[in-house]
C-alpha cells in the first residue's frame, strides 16, 4: 500500500496526529513510529529540515510524500502554516507503565490531578520533555493524548511517558503536592525520584491526592494573589528541582 492517503486511512483510527513540521520533527527525534507523513510542498519542508533539523532531514526525506492542498486539507482539522502532517503510533499503556515504574528514577514524575484545560496539559508535557522528566500522569477524565493536548505538546509526548492513572495507581516515590497553603518550596530540595503533584485549575488538589501527599509545598507568591496558572506552577517547580541537581542534569 504505497498511496499516502490509503496509508493515512489505514492508521487514522489508532494513531495520533502530528500537526505541522515541528511536531513531526520532535516526534522523530524522540523515537516515534511514524507510518505516514504528508506535505503540500516537499521541497519547502526539506529546506526547513535542512535549516532547523539536520539530524532528522534524512528520515524526513524518506518519509514525506507530497499531496495536493485539497488532499492535505481533507486529512487535518485545520491547515497548519507549514503544510505538514503525519500520523504516529501511540505508545502502549504497558510501555508507559513500565517507564513510570522503572527504578532507580533519575528524574521526577509530574502528576496533574484532574486537569481541565487541554492547553495547560500540552504545555506541561512540553515542559516535562524539556526538563527530561520521567513522565506526566493525569488523573480524572481528561485524555492526555487528546488532539488539542498533542498540539500544545508540539510532538513531545514521545519524549516522556504520558499516561492517565487513578490516584491509587501513582508511581512509587515521595509525593510532593503543590498548594498555596504548603511549606515554602525554597526550603526543600526535590529528590530525583519525587512525584510532583499539581491540582486542578478550578478546585486545586483533590482530597484523595492530598491524603496521599508526603509533603505540601508552596511557590512564593504575594499575599493578595490567589494562585498561579497550572503550567507555570509546573515550570517553577521543575526549575527548582533542576537547580538543586546542578547544571549538568538538564542540557
Ligand X SMILES: C[S@@+](CC[C@H](N)C(=O)[O-])C[C@H]1O[C@@H](n2cnc3c(N)ncnc32)[C@H](O)[C@@H]1O
- Considering the rule CB under 6 A, would residue 233 count as an interface residue with ligand X? yes
| Window 203-232: residues binding ligand X (CB under 6 A) | 203-205, 218-219, 221, 227-230
CB-based contact 85:75 (threshold 8 Å): yes
Q: Which of 16, 63, 121, 178 binds ligand X (CB under 6 A)?
A: 178
C-alpha distances in Å from residue 243, one per residue of 9, 177, 198, 228: 46, 19, 20, 20
Q: 158 vs 198, which CB is nearer to ligand X?
A: 198
Contact, 39 vs 65, CB < 8 A?
yes
To ligand X, the closest distance from the beta carbon of 230 in angstroms equals 4
Minimum distance from residue 204 beta carbon to ligand X (Å): 3
Q: Which of 198, 213, 238, 241 binds ligand X (CB under 6 A)?
A: 198
Given the rule CB under 6 A, which of 26-34, 145-153, 197-205, 239-247 is the region that contacts ligand X?
A: 197-205
Among 79, 147, 180, 191, which residue sits at the site for ligand X (rule: CB under 6 A)? 180
Mode of pairing for the β-strands spanning 16-19 and 84-88: antiparallel
Nearest-approach distance from CB 120 to ligand X, in angstroms: 9
Closest CA to 217 of 159, 249, 176, 171: 176
Kindly compute the dihedral angle of the four CA atoms of residues 233, 118, 77, 1, in this order, to the nearest 10 degrees. Answer: 90
| 102: alpha, beta or left? (left if phi > 0; alpha if psi -120 to 50) | beta
Could you list the residues that contact ligand X (CB under 6 A)? 178-180, 198-199, 201, 203-205, 218-219, 221, 227-230, 233
Amino acid at each position: 500500500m504505497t498511496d499516502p492517503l490509503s496509508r493515512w486511512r489505514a492508521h487514522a483510527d489508532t494513531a495520533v496526529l502530528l500537526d505541522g513540521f515541528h511536531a513531526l520533527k520532535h516526534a522523530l527525534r524522540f523515537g516515534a513510529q511514524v507510518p505516514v507523513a504528508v506535505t503540500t510542498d516537499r521541497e519547502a519542508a526539506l529546506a526547513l529540515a535542512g535549516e532547523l533539523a539536520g539530524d532528522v532531514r534524512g528520515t524526513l526525506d524518506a518519509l514525506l510524500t507530497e499531496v495536493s492542498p485539497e488532499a492535505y486539507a481533507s486529512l487535518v482539522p485545520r491547515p497548519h502554516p507549514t503544510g505538514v502532517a503525519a500520523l504516529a503510533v501511540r505508545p502502549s499503556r504497558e510501555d508507559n507503565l513500565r517507564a513510570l515504574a522503572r527504578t532507580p528514577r533519575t528524574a521526577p514524575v509530574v502528576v496533574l490531578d484532574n486537569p481541565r484545560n487541554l492547553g495547560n496539559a500540552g504545555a506541561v508535557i512540553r515542559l516535562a520533555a524539556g526538563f527530561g522528566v520521567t513522565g506526566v500522569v493525569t488523573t480524572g477524565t481528561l485524555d492526555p493524548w487528546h488532539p488539542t493536548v498533542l498540539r500544545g505538546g508540539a510532538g513531545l509526548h514521545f519524549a516522556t511517558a504520558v499516561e492517565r492513572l487513578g490516584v491509587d495507581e501513582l508511581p512509587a516515590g515521595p509525593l510532593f503536592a503543590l498548594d498555596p497553603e504548603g511549606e515554602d518550596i525554597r526550603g526543600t530540595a526535590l529528590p530525583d525520584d519525587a512525584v510532583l503533584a499539581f491540582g486542578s485549575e478550578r478546585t486545586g488538589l483533590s482530597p484523595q491526592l492530598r491524603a496521599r501527599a508526603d509533603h505540601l509545598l508552596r511557590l512564593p507568591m504575594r499575599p493578595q494573589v490567589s494562585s498561579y496558572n497550572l503550567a507555570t506552577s509546573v515550570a517553577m517547580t521543575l526549575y527548582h528541582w533542576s537547580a538543586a541537581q546542578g547544571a549538568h542534569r538538564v542540557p
